[in-house]
Amino acid sequence: MTQAFAGLRVIDATHVLAGPFASYQLAVLGADVIKVESPHSPDQARMQGSDRKLNDAGMGTAFMAQASNKRALALDLKTAGGQEAFRRLAARADVLVQNYRPGAFEALGLGYDALSALNPRLIYCGISAFGANGPKREDTGYDNALQAYSGIMAMTGHGDGRPLKSGAQVVDYATGLSAAFAISAALYQREQTGRGQFIDLSMLDVSLTLLTSHVAGYTWNGAHPEAKGNRFPFATIGCYMAADTDLMISASNLAQQRRLWTVLGREDLIKTDNNQRLDDHKRESAALTDIIATRPADEWEAMLRRHRIPAARIRRMEEALNDPQVVQRGIVHRHAGTDAATEGLGVLVSPFQMSDSPAVVHSPPQPVGAQTREILAELGYGEEDQEKLRKQGAIA
């Protein structure tokens, strides 16, 4: 089957997690993604992950998580030769994604205005911590700093005055998905206009987007989101200790809370409107605490789900990955029959499935500059030209 982005060329001039994840989403849908990094200072994620030997080899799991299906080009963009090769690449590309500090690529002559003049159809996505304008435009930042800056950490935790970051890099990966969506929208619009455009994506803006409902509440009546741990406004949504471990219950709407109290034999606690639920939180919470403690979490999960009440025992990641539902969905791809560096590596593919153009992982993550000669040849660089670039230090 033809994939959604088959035939598109994407330049991935990004590093760490958010930017590489954006281009990875395009790569698994068929785009030819070319990972551009310096031969002297490659993507720092290559040196990060759960295996120190892989980190030392420049193939850390933090890098490989979103590096499949990409070709690797090593160019030093601080050299004239590297900049010229990058311009040739951009002139033939559909999309460029870069996540350096705003102004950095402009200083190299590789900003949107310069490259758009060479290729008016180019979609240029610039990802940065705070965006391309505003007083903090030149400041850098990572996921944890943005969680702190945006208010996410202040509302996470148990209300004991100790803010807590999310265990997952939610800002990084939400930024990557946002970028992939913005690029898809720009590609669609290009079909009507024939022109590319500049996409200015701020990690801070993404962080605030993750707080959408809380922002609306605060701007309406000043209701500031406070850290409440696993406690929700309704007692029938929350984490309760079963006989063996914790159970998360999510009887959210009125129909679900009615079914919950009926199943538990506490019809006296059924409410007819949400204000009653808010007012009776203390009594409902005490009842659930006592009842849920009487049985193992697995029994409760099975029983509640039979009555269409969302509930889940707390699971560690290794159990979640081996769950029959996850296995059936096929969201994890295992690299096999490729090379020793990636044999057995499991990577997530895409959070959605398309009937006519599925997301596919077809090639493993590549070492720094593994396809440099191949890609430069495609750009018209012969052996002598490549040797000149090598002497300049533009390539290794």
Which residues are catalytic, by number?
A: 172
Q: Which of 199, 214, 216 is nearest to 131 (CA)?
A: 199
Instruction: Round to whole Å and give the CA distance between 312 and 314.
Output: 6
CB 32 within 8 A of CB 363: no
Which of these, 22, 29, 26, 174, lies nearest to 99 by C-alpha position? 22
With 0-12 / 13-18 / 19 or more C-beta atoms within 10 angstroms meaning exposed / middle / buried, residue 296 is: middle
Alpha helices (H) along 223-296? 254-263, 274-279, 281-292
CA distance 263 to 269: 12
Take residue 334 and report the two structure tokens written for it.
């295992």
First to last CA, the chain: 37
Residue-by-residue DSSP string for 13-50? E--TTHHHHHHHHHHTTT-EEEEEE-SSS--GGGG-SS
Burial annotation 210-235 (CB, 10 A radius, 16+ → b, else e): bbeebeeeeeeeeeebebeeeebebb
β-strand pairing of 95-98 with 123-128: parallel
Task: Name which of 194, 168, 8, 169 is nearest 97 in CA terms.
Answer: 8
